[in-house]
Amino acid sequence: MLKYVRVMEEGDLPIGKSVIVTAKGEDIALFNYKGKYYAITNKCLHMGSPLAEGRIEEGVIICPNHEWRYDLKTGECSQNPYMKTKIFSVKLHKGGVYI
């Protein structure tokens, strides 16, 4: 059974913003994109840049340094179809955000 970890209050991350949270032993980039929360490993597979500092275009996070792109829903990398970064399930419960 998966155990969710509370990482923040639901209203603390405005739409269009991101934050780095630590859960399950790793740094995770948490995004509020169009009112829905997405969580992805905070490390670009290319050179390790922090994805939380990137920008989102049409559901894709773009690395701030070399513009590698990852789908927020699947973690798939558009530069290399054989590469996929880790994504995390996000759950909202009683005003909290859980990963």
Chain-centroid distance, C-alpha 41: 6
Q: Kindly report the pTM of this predicted structure.
A: 0.92
Averaged confidence pLDDT in the chain: 95
For the chain, the 3-state helix, strand and coil shares in percent, each to the nearest 5, are: 5, 45, 50
List, in order of start, the domains of the chain with CATH numbers: 6-92 (2.102.10.10)
* Pairing mode, strands 96-98 and 6-9: antiparallel
Q: Which of 37, 56, 12, 55 is nearest to 98 (CA)?
A: 37
Under-50 pLDDT residues of the chain: 1
Q: What is the pLDDT of residues 28-56, one digit of tens each?
A: 999 999 999 999 999 999 999 999 999 99
In this predicted structure, what is the pLDDT of residue 1? 42
